[in-house]
Amino acid sequence: MPKKIINKLRIKRKAAPKTSQTVFTPPGTISYVGVHREGEVITETIAYGPEHYEKHDKIVYSLPNDYVKWYNLDGIHDIEKLKKIGKRFDIHPLLLEDVANTTQRPKTEFYPNYVFQCIKMISYDEKDHDIEQEQVSIILNEHEVVTFQEQTGDVFGSVRSRIENNHGRIRTSDSDYLFYALIDSVLDHYFIAIEKIGDYLDVLEDEIFNDPEKESLNKVQNNKRVLINLRRSVYPLRESISRLLKEESRFLQPQTKAYFQDAYDHCIQIIETIESYREINTGLKDMYLSSVSHKMNQIMQVLTIISSIFIPMTFLAGIYGMNFEHIPELTWQHGYMYFWIICAVMFVGLIVFFKFKKWL
């Protein structure tokens, strides 16, 4: 394939975070791996109970033990801040290393003093038709949940609203239900992203069927990459939630595990939808090639019919254009008119014949 065509079909890929900087460092060395960020880490504390709610724009440790506390950090590029938080909550250095490394796959780990959950938060960009991923690390211990996010802005608005307005059972439940609610909120936004991808697939299908262009193949190829990245985020999450269901922990109450079963079912549904969309996307590539081939066949059919019509006329013109002195019809007074009459009859006759054969 020519180099120019390869360059046109090449899809732009976002630069992946460099992980080589952590390869030769001792285990437990906390170093940020991800997109370069600057600015101050934004912190938030939400404390609540059945009859109590308060919110602070900073980390507040001096809160009653019977309150459920949610500590949220937006920004993990500040290593000193991470170490300070880790010391306060007695977080193992290996776990903090995973928090700072944004290339982690979704996973669940059980420690004596807490449960650790790593998950990918997904949003779909309808303008660029791409997904944006952000790693969220969630730590659950007794009456406390700590979340670490790469940047400001998340999908937890509904959870905050339910806590503030005392909707549902979240205010009457312990921290393990908050832990579930955060995971469930991330999964709900997977459904939103998948729905938008499905709508885009419908648009691509109509575009390829009606008027396939070279850019259509690039769009299909880019959508394939989006689905692969989405699959990489969801497949490990199925195993992760399965561990939350099967393994015992003093921080996970039996009544909360029923909700994790629902989250597991959602995860399976998301995976099945992604697989079906991947098959549809592969079919779009085949449809593009078929549509282009069909379009080329139509063009060749028209050109062939035009050639077939003019070949007999060219044959006649060739005969009477020869430089022989004695050609019988050259002396006819109305020979030129007869020539055009014969050509017109052949033209109409061939058109009728092609119509009869349904070639037109």
C-alpha 270/C-alpha 181 separation (Å) is 18
C-alpha 247/C-alpha 97 separation (Å) is 24
The residue count of the chain comes to 360
Tell me the two tokens of residue 65: 């033990």
* Cβ pair 237, 265 in contact under 8 A: no
C-alpha 66/C-alpha 49 separation (Å) is 8
pLDDT tens across the length of the chain (360 residues)? 443 433 433 333 344 455 545 555 677 688 888 888 778 899 999 999 999 999 999 999 888 888 999 999 999 988 988 999 989 888 988 999 999 999 889 999 999 999 999 999 999 998 889 999 999 999 999 899 999 999 888 899 999 999 999 998 999 999 999 999 999 999 999 999 999 999 999 999 998 888 888 888 889 999 999 999 999 989 999 999 999 999 989 999 989 988 999 999 999 999 999 999 999 999 998 888 888 887 788 788 888 888 888 888 888 888 878 877 777 877 788 888 888 888 899 888 888 888 887 777
Q: What angle do CA 124, 175, 151 make, to 5 degrees?
A: 35
Q: Which helix (H) or strand (E) holds 141?
A: strand 130-141
- Rg of the chain over all Cα atoms, to the nearest angstrom: 34
Q: What angle do CA 297, 310, 345 make, to 5 degrees?
A: 120
Burial class (CB in 10 A: 0-12, 13-18, 19+), 94: middle
Report DSSP state, residue 89: T
Tell me the two tokens of residue 135: 């790693």
- DSSP annotation string for 276-323: HHHHHHHHHHHHHHHHHHHHHHHHHHHHHHHHHHHHHHHHHHHHTTS-
Tell me the two tokens of residue 353: 């014949």
C-alpha 61/C-alpha 68 separation (Å) is 12
Q: Which amino acid is at 303?
A: L
